[in-house]
Amino acid sequence: MKQLITSILFVAAVLASCSSPEVSSPDGRLHLKLTVDEAGSIFYQVDVDGSPFIAPSRLGLVASNAELASGFVIEDIEHGAVDSVWHQPWGENKELTDRHNSMSVTMANGEGVQLTLSFKLFDDGLGFRYDYDVPGVDSLFVTDELTQFAIVGDGMSWSIPASFETYELEYREMPLSTVGDANTPMTFKTEGGLYASLHEAALTDYPEMTLRRDSTGVLKADLAPWPDGVKARYAGGHCLSPWRTVQVADEAVGLINSPLILNLNEPCALATTDWVRPMRYVGVWWGMHLGIETWQDDERHGATTANAKKYIDFAADNGIEGVVFEGWNRGWESWGGRQSFDFTAPYDDFDMGEVVRYAKERGVQVIGHHETGGNVPNYERQLDRAYAWCDSLGIRYVKTGYAGGMPGGQFHHGQYGVRHYRRVVETAARYHVSLDVHEPIKDTGIRRTWPNMMTREGARGMEWNAWSKGNSLEHELILPFTRLLAGPMDYTPGTFDILYEATRNDPRRRKWNDLDEGNSRVNTTLAKQIANWVILYSPLQMASDLVENYEGHPAFQFFRDFDADCDWSRALQGEPGDYIAVVRRAGDRYDLGASTNEEARTLTVPLDFLVGGVTYDAAIYADGDDADWQHNPTSYKIVHRTVTSADTLTVVMAEGGGQAVTFIPRK
Ligand code: NOJ
Ligand code: CA
């Protein structure tokens, strides 16, 4: 991968005499100070614009067989600065700037434990990580992380509760002071009006970090454990933690536009990336969630050769690049039980060879599907063979799933899970396969290092609308300011049959999920579904509905025209849970997506992101004049206009509505 680096690195070693090392962001607005108290315990504090933002907060890890928290004396301090531009093969922005000041503080304690604490301060936030070396031990057992985030004052926050098993939880908007525990990214707005988000970057060989209020009333790192209570274990005495991150912005959309998480990850580890390509897809999927088809091969089996060909034809006829088929392989009859899926054995009525041949003939990519049910040992036993098989069939994408508990009391988000998910990414990379992971470990920006780790679920997605009370009107307006700060999400937007009119009374329909009360629906207007294709960024972007609901539908033209591979993105305006407007450029065309919560809303959007002097044909997919999400969700209109960068668009949205616009330069 081509990397343009224009970095100036200056390193100044300062000796231990300085007991309060300090570092500022390049613009000087963020200032971090490190202190070591008389007991050799370590603390950091952060000011923003000269005012305290994070009060002195504890740093350090605890281990059962080494002293990692106290007794430290500073031995060396190094300062540096980087200003570089780098590129990624795909992403919201293909070109990114990494501009930060760094500080690396090396310490040792009486037991000879060496700790290097690294800090990077950017204009849009900061990151820090632990690098421990414990001499003379053959293993290290980390039992706690002491990192605190003592945010000064109160504010409003948006987060899901902490869980080591799932992120498919409802978001809470609540005063920061009342958050007892939370998963990250946790976003908040301080009383002073600063927006911030706590998360982590480069989670590689460590459990996930959640936040829990400690006995002193401060939010503290809380790590997912192994079944024996140990949080992280290593052969040898070395432990390198992920980065703990604090993003800050004056406007809520500043958090979305921040590349901080990616900047804190390692450069691309792949020798080639030409096989990693963003694309749109449809699939044999929604029918199962709606209860009219099944994953297993009974009389309602969805993934039959004939149905697969129907979806391949639809994709080919509409210029959509990919198709997924769930329920193609043996083992679904054991889902919820032994979870013994076979990843190279298709059901008798699914002829993989013929499906792959037909897809190739029609120019469509097949996305394989590996539901593991959480049975990691079963998957790992087959991993290499399964991906070699995909490679031999020319399958370049696989969707994975972990719907079910992991054996032996392991948590999805513990170090065991983190290691497993990474092993899959690395194995898939060896066979040039890109991933869409459901029930994943949360995104921490590893796509920079492993671009084949393309997208993942990791929040309540569209599926919840099929068989539960569904996602709230704010949900899709909180996601961009929380979950999506971590990275792309396979939300699978684009359900057009909002009220399931085509399938509700289908004689095949059976309740299969306990949460299904028979009154499920999508809680948006149709135009908001279209806007979500732009707003909820995923390099693999799905049109979720049954293809028959798109056949002949004029509004599906938006998806036909859509490019999942974008070059540049900007969140223009928005507030968590209320509204948002995002624009993305792919080549010389732009797509705008805007949406609102239960309130009808009109946004004024200057089109100054368009190229000056160029005339664009704008196709506007808007809520109908009489639309509202509750009573008239499918009312929409398509309006065509000619615009330039000097124009301003008035984006009128119904209650629970949205708007999507394509801007194509007039030739
Ligand atoms: C949960 C995933 O999120 C969903 O997309 C999939 O259909 C089911 N598991 C079955 O694998
Ligand atoms: Ca899921």
Tens digit of pLDDT for each residue in 601-617? 999 999 999 999 999 99
Domain that holds residue 311: 279-560
Order of strands across the sheet with 139-145? Answer: 61-63, 139-145, 232-235
Q: Say if 487 falls within a structural domain.
A: yes
pLDDT of residue 14: 39
Single-letter residue type at 418: V
Whether residue 72 contacts residue 42, with contact meaning beta carbons closer than 8 Å, is answered with: yes
Residues 158-176 have pLDDT tens digits of 999 999 999 999 999 999 9
Give the distance (Å) from ligand 1 centre to CA of residue 168.
12
Beta bridge mates, 391: none
Q: Say if 577 falls within a structural domain.
A: no
Token pair for 245? 């991150």
Q: Say if 7 falls within a structural domain.
A: no
Whether residue 92 contacts residue 262, with contact meaning beta carbons closer than 8 Å, is answered with: no
Rounded to the nearest 10°, the torsion over CA 495, 500, 506, 509 is 80
Report the nearest-CA residue for atom 11 of ligand 1. 371
438 lines ligand 1 (CB under 6 A): yes
* 340 and 376 both lie in a single domain: yes
Report the nearest-CA residue for atom 3 of ligand 1. 438
Q: Is the pLDDT confidence value at 306 over 80?
A: yes
Single-letter residue type at 128: F
Residue of 166, 288, 326, 375 to test ligand 1 pocket, by largest number of atoms within 8 Å of CB? 326
Rounded Cα distance, 522 and 290, in Å: 12
Residue of 371, 402, 512 to test ligand 1 pocket, by largest number of atoms within 8 Å of CB? 371
Rounded Cα distance, 262 and 513, in Å: 37
Q: Is the pLDDT confidence value at 9 over 50?
A: no
463 is catalytic: yes
Rounded to the nearest 10°, the torsion over CA 376, 377, 382, 383 is 50
Q: What is the Cα 367 distance to its own chain's centre?
A: 19
Residues 364-384 have pLDDT tens digits of 999 999 999 999 999 999 999
- Ligand nearest to the Cα of 303, by number: 1
* 231 and 306 both lie in a single domain: no
Whether residue 445 contacts residue 199, with contact meaning beta carbons closer than 8 Å, is answered with: no
pLDDT of residue 19: 66
Report the nearest-CA residue for atom 7 of ligand 1. 285
Whether residue 374 contacts residue 416, with contact meaning beta carbons closer than 8 Å, is answered with: no
Q: Is the pLDDT confidence value at 17 over 90?
A: no
* 480 and 597 both lie in a single domain: no
* 258 and 287 both lie in a single domain: no
Whether residue 428 contacts residue 137, with contact meaning beta carbons closer than 8 Å, is answered with: no
| Domain CATH number, residue 420 | 3.20.20.70
Cis peptide bond N-terminal to 185, omega within 30: yes
Report the nearest-CA residue for atom 2 of ligand 1. 438
Q: Say if 3 falls within a structural domain.
A: no
Nearest to 661 by CA among 592, 586, 568: 592
460 lines ligand 1 (CB under 6 A): no
Q: Is the pLDDT confidence value at 11 over 60?
A: no
Domain boundary pick from 263, 288, 309: 263
Give the distance (Å) from ligand 2 centre to CA of residue 401.
7
403 lines ligand 1 (CB under 6 A): yes
Nearest to 231 by CA among 62, 374, 113: 62
Helix (H) or strand (E) holding 61: strand 61-63
Give the distance (Å) from ligand 1 centre to CA of residue 323.
15
In the predicted model, what is the mean pLDDT of residues 568-582? Answer: 98
401 lines ligand 1 (CB under 6 A): yes
3-state secondary structure 279-292: EEEEEECHHHHHCC
pLDDT of residue 438: 98
How many domains, the chain? 3
96 lines ligand 1 (CB under 6 A): no
DSSP conformation letters of 155-223 = EEEEEPPP-SS------EEEEGGG--EE-SSEEEEETTS-EEEEEEE---SSPPEEEEE-TTS-EEEEE
Q: Say if 36 falls within a structural domain.
A: yes
- Does the pTM surpass 0.75? The reply is yes
* 615 and 539 both lie in a single domain: no
371 lines ligand 1 (CB under 6 A): yes
- Ligand nearest to the Cα of 399, by number: 1
- In the predicted model, what is the mean pLDDT of the chain? 96
| Domain CATH number, residue 595 | 2.60.40.1180
- Ligand nearest to the Cα of 460, by number: 2
In the predicted model, what is the mean pLDDT of residues 205-218? Answer: 98
* 308 and 198 both lie in a single domain: no
pLDDT of residue 1: 37
* 155 and 289 both lie in a single domain: no
* 251 and 346 both lie in a single domain: no
Q: Is the pLDDT confidence value at 636 over 80?
A: yes
pLDDT of residue 264: 99
> Mapping DSSP to helix (H, G, I), strand (E, B) and coil, where does residue 304 land?
coil
| Domain CATH number, residue 72 | 2.70.98.10
Among 145, 200, 457, 463, the active-site one is: 463
Neighbouring C-alpha atoms within 13 Å toward the C-beta of 447 = 34
Residue 371 Cα: closest atom of ligand 1? 11
Residues 19-29 have pLDDT tens digits of 689 999 999 99
CA-CA-CA-CA torsion sign (416, 417, 421, 422): negative
Rounded Cα distance, 111 and 139, in Å: 16
Q: Say if 214 falls within a structural domain.
A: yes
* 327 and 226 both lie in a single domain: no
Residues 126-154 have pLDDT tens digits of 999 999 999 999 999 999 999 999 999 99
Phi, psi of 613 (to 5 degrees): 85, -5
Whether residue 219 contacts residue 213, with contact meaning beta carbons closer than 8 Å, is answered with: yes
User: What is each CA distance from 471 to 188, 230, 619, in whole angstroms?
Assistant: 21, 35, 28
* 211 and 242 both lie in a single domain: yes
Residue of 286, 375, 438 to test ligand 1 pocket, by largest number of atoms within 8 Å of CB? 438
228 CB-near residues (< 8 Å, 6+ apart): none
* 534 and 594 both lie in a single domain: no
- Calculate Rg over the CA atoms of the chain: 25
* 309 and 419 both lie in a single domain: yes
Domain boundary pick from 263, 289, 315: 263
Domain boundary pick from 508, 527, 560: 560
Rounded Cα distance, 572 and 256, in Å: 10
User: What is each CA distance from 103 to 18, 127, 238, 303, 457, in whole angstroms?
Assistant: 13, 11, 21, 54, 35
pLDDT of residue 5: 37
In the predicted model, what is the mean pLDDT of residues 405-419? Answer: 97
Nearest to 566 by CA among 488, 475, 456: 488
Q: Say if 579 falls within a structural domain.
A: no
CB atoms within 10 A of CB 116: 17
Whether residue 431 contacts residue 343, with contact meaning beta carbons closer than 8 Å, is answered with: no
Nearest to 332 by CA among 302, 365, 352, 309: 302
Q: Is the pLDDT confidence value at 236 over 70?
A: yes
First-to-last alpha carbon distance for the chain, in angstroms, is 32
In the predicted model, what is the mean pLDDT of residues 269-282? Answer: 98
Q: Say if 248 falls within a structural domain.
A: yes
